[in-house]
Amino acid sequence: MIDFSNVDLLIVGAGFYGATIAERVANQLQKNVLLIDRRSHIGGNAYSEFDSETGIEVHRYGAHLFHTPNETVWTYLNRFTGFTDYKHRVYSTYRDQVYSMPINLGTISQFFNRRLSPDQARALIADQAAEMAGRNPANLEEKAISLIGRPLYEAFIRGYTAKQWQTDPRDLPEHIITRLPVRYTFDNRYFNDKYEGLPIDGYTAIFERMLKHPKIDIALGVDFFSLKSSLPPDLPVVYTGPIDRYFDYSEGELGWRTIDFEKETLNTGDFQGMAVMNYADETVPYTRILEFRHFNPERSYQNEKTVVVREYSRSAKRADEPYYPIDTRQDKEVFLRYRERAEAETNVHFGGRLGTYRYLDMHQAIGAALKAFESRIVPHFTEGRTVGGEK
């Protein structure tokens, strides 16, 4: 039984959003924080661990690549870790050929089997995208065709997206595809952000340092909903779990995508020569293979074995871990009803990817938490304002 008598703020979820607010409240406001998580570890989906057999750091919930254009977030996180100079690059297999991703001048030249100048490539893609001329894209498929034309879309985007989201691309919002840049140079760096790298000591070490404060208590393996009915009525809560679960699915279930991970240790020093290989063919059941040794080439890992993880994406059921909001038109309607109900919860602040039903990269979750701390949490403790309930 948890004693709430000395708790000033309850935070549900030990990922980046919850950990950032916990760290700020303890260090800046000197208030007592109780951070709970139903999992057995801190770090949320960013949790990493060193494989006992190989010594290789593995991201348990899929590859996490830190990048940000936000200097405030970068400066903040550097209080808890240094970063390597890792620059993320991805390749994709389509019909047994390997292409560089995101789509760039090298990809286009290789796919169409001829050397193209930037102007020639632009003209070719413009011609292939002409079917969307004068039309505003209404879904992911139309947006992709408007950017790269139908041949490249059908090769690299359609099958991969259908597998990744378990949804027809024509039923997905167009904004999803804007996360994948298209370049008319040979630059194959995946992210454009100014700041990029991987934490020198791994992700879990970041959370350990963030949460190492005498005013932060951590309770793991604790389900918030087993405590909800017994919470003191005036205890403010930061909730980062699924918003539909908080309201017991009373307005309907939101669509989430989950991932199944198939981990394998292989008797080779190098399986695929890179950290991430996508598989664009719909006939291949997994979306990509991760080989974790390549995220940290600066480390002196042994060369006898390697760890790979295959990712299988599917729609989530209630018992599954929800990773990404699918965000169809129907989902948007359901979420608006939940948001209206959340605004009536004056003592609860909903945050993070699951609590706001938004796709958030790690740096976005940290940035949002820093803003929420200033706009919601500080005024609560200094002015008596509610932590939630305001638009």
- Minimal CA–CA distance to 152: which of 215, 100, 218, 202? 100
- Minimal CA–CA distance to 59: which of 293, 363, 300, 313? 293
Task: Classify residue 213 as left (phi > 0), alpha (psi -120 to 50) or beta.
Answer: beta
* Dihedral sign computed on CA atoms, order 222, 224, 228, 233: positive
- Minimal CA–CA distance to 235: which of 36, 24, 19? 36
CA 105, CA 86: separation in Å to the nearest integer?
22
Catalytic residues: 179, 183, 257, 288, 311, 359, 361
CA 174, CA 88: separation in Å to the nearest integer?
24
Determine contact, residues 301/293, Cβ cutoff 8 Å: yes
Query: DSSP label at 192?
Result: -
260-279-166 Cα angle (round to 5): 50
CA 59, CA 160: separation in Å to the nearest integer?
22
CA 210, CA 11: separation in Å to the nearest integer?
14
SS3 state of residue 220: strand
Q: Give counts: helices (H), strands (E), the chain.
A: 13, 16
